[in-house]
Amino acid sequence: MANTASLVIQALALSLCFVVSKCLFSIPLQVNSGKFNLSSAVDLTPVRQVILTSDGNGLSLASDPTGTVNFLDMVNNLQGDSGRGYYIEMSLGTPGQKLNILVDTGSSNFAVAASAHPFITHYFNTALSTTYESTERTVTVRYTQGNWEGELGIDHVSLPKGPNGTMIVNIAAILSSDGFFLPGVNWQGILGLAYPMLARPDSSVEPFFNSMVRQLGIPDIFSLQMCGAGLSASSTADLAGGSLIMGGAEPTQYIGSVWYTPIVEEWYYQVEVLKLEVGDQNLDLDCREYNMDKAIVDSGTTLLRLPVNVFNAVVAAITRGSLIQEFSSGFWEGTKLACWIKGETPWRFFPKLSIYLRATNTSQSFRITILPQLYIQPITDVDGTLDCYRFGVSSSSNGLVIGATVMEGFYVVFDRSKRRLGFALSSCAVNGGIALSEIAGPFSAADVASNCSGGPLKEPLLWVISYALMAVCAFVLVILLLLLVLPCRRRHHSGEITDESSLVRHRIK
């Protein structure tokens, strides 16, 4: 009987260790890696050095005395809109093949179509490039909706409307995909501008912008203006466009000062949201609710995505303050459109939305505000007599995402060198002479917690806790070993980062 009880205790201990480890490490994104390590096998030497001047606050401006980089040359180098994505023209290989590449600050791989697909007009033919080299390393990225699979390689890349010079960069050549390329888009690849921690199959695959900074010598800063505010997400009219300024910020693209918030962690561009307001009404939630499990700035996500509790509070606050009390639940859930007689706009029925971000002076915050023209978004007319709109906010199970719905109101500076994100009023966020965004501050942050980033744990902290739990399991097993003289081995698991906030999953189809 005693032996039976001991065996039961041992089995429970082993089960506990297994369950704890399994709960800590989920792998929603399947990735297969090969044998080739690019970082140790290829010499990526600098091609050209450039020098830029500073405004005194760490930002590089357009007055480059060498003439090598002129930010004005990069203005209007983007095409697209929030519904179909913003993309930039790039030249790949030798001789150069021109492709349109989606700009995505929520991922880190540079991946391009390398085979024919019914939804794209052309692709990167690696066989026609004399400088393309395959690394014989495969990568498969699977999303909840959509996936692509291909091989990693390296080749020469330049940007016709970017910094002068040619770079040698990692390229994922997409050979097959499902649900990644969609009808109506005019891009053939994706440019991930986030940190190496998100790169697939692993962080040894140097992201594009890291390669640009290292090889061309530009400052580790880029800035983004997206000019689709107030335009129909399904219109076939001329695309709105915008600007991706690599190496600094272009003052003609924004109005007033740049307000900065710290980058909490360098994987996504994670920030700290302190509170939300609907009109002048504070949602009055624990600030950790806003950052559960992360809050990021992602140009590849169409909507403003909010954790479920926050989303429900926003909808309730809008409903209470709106002139339309009985509004279809399908509108809030994104399954139905709201329509008005043509020429009649719905803006007066909805309040402003404000997001408070922690300032670089951590005892303060600042507020970015969008008008309803940004989050009540025109789609298309139905029969020539109606104008229809969608709700540009959705619920999220994996964090708060400041997507294109908000970003179209601001000029956003990704100052990686100082680990901070900057927001300023965008010069193109105007519709009918009305500014569609506001920014204000500083405000005291004394009424919120000192640390609002209270979501699920991530690497490397995740590893520390997992090893601590393993140590506890080991201690229990050693006791059992002494009692039963039976071996017990600890198991190691590898963590993975979710990538469910990307445009691949959340753009409008």
- Which positions are catalytic? 104, 298
3-class DSSP assignment, residue 307: strand
Beta-carbon contacts of 234 under 8 Å, excluding residues fewer than 6 positions away, are 83, 379, 380, 508
3-state secondary structure of 313: helix
- The Cα 328–Cα 492 span in angstroms is 49
- Distance in angstroms (rounded) separating the CA atoms of residues 313 and 282: 10
Helix (H), strand (E) at residue 319: helix 308-321
Contacts of 117 (CB under 8 A, 6+ apart): 123, 177, 181
For residue 393 the two structure tokens come to 């906010």
* SS3 category, 131: coil
Amino acid letter for position 223? S
Which secondary-structure segment (H or E) carries 437?
Answer: strand 437-444
Is residue 46 within 8 A of residue 216, CB to CB? The reply is yes
**Residue 174 DSSP SS3:** strand
Q: 34-68 burial by CB neighbour count: b if 16+ within 10 A, else e? A: eebebeeeeebeeeeebebeeeeebbbbbebeeeb
Residue 458 and residue 265 in contact, taking contact as beta carbons nearer than 8 Å: yes
Contacts for 446 with CB less than 8 Å, ≥ 6 apart: 363
Helix (H, G, I), strand (E, B) or coil at 501: coil
Q: Is there a contact between 138 and 34 (Cβ–Cβ < 8 Å)?
A: yes
> Got the DSSP string for 339-388?
EEETT---GGGS--EEEEEE-SSTTEEEEEEE-HHHHEEEEEESSSSEEE
Residue carrying the six token digits 């005194």: 56
Dihedral angle over CA of 225, 497, 457, 21, nearest 10: 170
CA atoms within 13 A on the CB side of 344: 7
DSSP label at residue 195: -
Q: Are 209 and 22 in contact (CB under 8 A)?
A: no
Tokens 């300032």 sit on residue: 359
